[in-house]
Amino acid sequence: MPGFEIFGEEEKKEVMDVLDTGVLFRYEFPEQRKGVYKVREFEEKFATYTGTRYAQAVTSGSTALKVALTALGVGPGDEVITQGFTFVATWEAILEVGAIPVFTEVNATLNMDPADLEKKITEKTACIIPVHMLGAQADVIEIVKIADRHGIPVLEDTAQAAGGRIQGRHLGSFGTCGTFSFDSVKTMTTGEGGMIITDDEELWRTMSEYHDHGHDHVVNPGARGGEGRRFVGFNYRMMEIQGAIGIAQLAKLDTMVREQKKTKQRIMEAASDIPGVQFRKLIDPDGDSATFICFSLQDREHAKRVNVSLAAEGCGAINFGENTWHFYPKWEHLLSGATTVKSGWPFREPGGKRRVVYDADMLPQSADIVGRTLVYPIPIKMDPKRLEQICSALIKAKNT
């Protein structure tokens, strides 16, 4: 990762189609654009690729979460369950719509633990957001079964796992809807940008209207409709140049994943002799997007020793237990309820009453698993010398 490694003539051609029209806005100007609607084409092709009926393009993976939650009717008074190992955008979006994030443990998949999910569901639970973190599948089939028993929609955060599957079915298509990110470090990228997929026509229409200030889009997806607005919205529109790049990148996505799998397998083989090493549990190894390799050691101290050895060889890995962006105990602004709003919202009600208090130590299972896990991102194109350097460092680390 990421997709910019293989930018080529395909992306240039799609972008030039846009520049030749002079229309960067995804809607309107039909005479000037001469039939060129790149965002609409990207949506149609992404829906086809993922085997879903509808896709809604937006400005980022973060706004995809907010647009989806809003379309699902989630807001103040609601709780949304997600996992304590994710990028901050997942819970930022929950707070953005006025709901309260509730965090579950992760298990050996490094994703939502269905057993802990069962414990966290309350009468206030309005949505469940499993995250296919670091490119690999959450146990989404079991999670959806649990959610269905309680009548709760599932929103799959698939930001880091485009191209991933379970038994041939695309991640993001198991729940009520699924969101994707195409930012600068994703396997397929448009620089910024996101997508939401769903089979629910009414949900898609609500997302389509909300992301464009409430415009109804009744006439067709290329126009803004008859102005029969049902509700207020906001601006989360994708630009035509992003849609153009997305079309070219999507066509390459399966090839990207295949290349990542080859590199990942080679690194796994090198790491396999480290005493006590365990590789991340994959629900379906064939459906792995292979954007990261994750391996756990015997305990936190063993992981630290191994990483010191790797770093000495110029190949230090990521320990997300020490990362400030992706792991619950490191989110100091969430834990302290930091906000720019004078009233203290969203952590306090108007008048000062605290809505939620988070305990940094409330996810001990996750702290254990994440703290002893080391991670390497997998590029699409890895220099053979660099690959051999990493593999050699891992082989040496077996003696630490």
- Separation CA 148–CA 78 (nearest Å): 18
The contacts of residue 322 (CB under 8 Å, 6+ apart) are 330
What region does 129 belong to: left with phi over 0, alpha with psi -120 to 50, or beta?
beta
Bond preceding residue 285 cis, omega within 30 of 0: no
Segment holding 56, helix H or strand E? strand 54-58
Q: DSSP assignment of 312-372, as one string?
A: HTT-PPB-GGG-TTTBGGG-HHHHHT--S-TT-TTTB-TTS-BS----TTS-HHHHHHHHT
Minimal CA–CA distance to 116: which of 127, 130, 126? Answer: 130
Q: DSSP assignment of 249-316, as one string?
A: HHHHHHHHHHHHHHHHHHHHHHHTTSTT-EEPP-S-GGG---SEEEEE-SSHHHHHHHHHHHHHTT-P
Among residues 38, 186, 252, 264, which one is catalytic? Answer: 186
Neighbours of 222 (CB within 10 A): 17
- Separation CA 196–CA 188 (nearest Å): 15
Displacement of CA 284 from its chain's centroid (Å): 18
- Answer yes or no: are the C-beta atoms of 398 and 273 closer than 8 Å: yes
Segment holding 169, helix H or strand E? strand 169-170
Residue 186 falls in the annotated catalytic set: yes
Structure tokens at 19: 């520049």
Neighbours of 198 (CB within 10 A): 24
Residues recorded for the chain: 400
Catalytic residues: 186
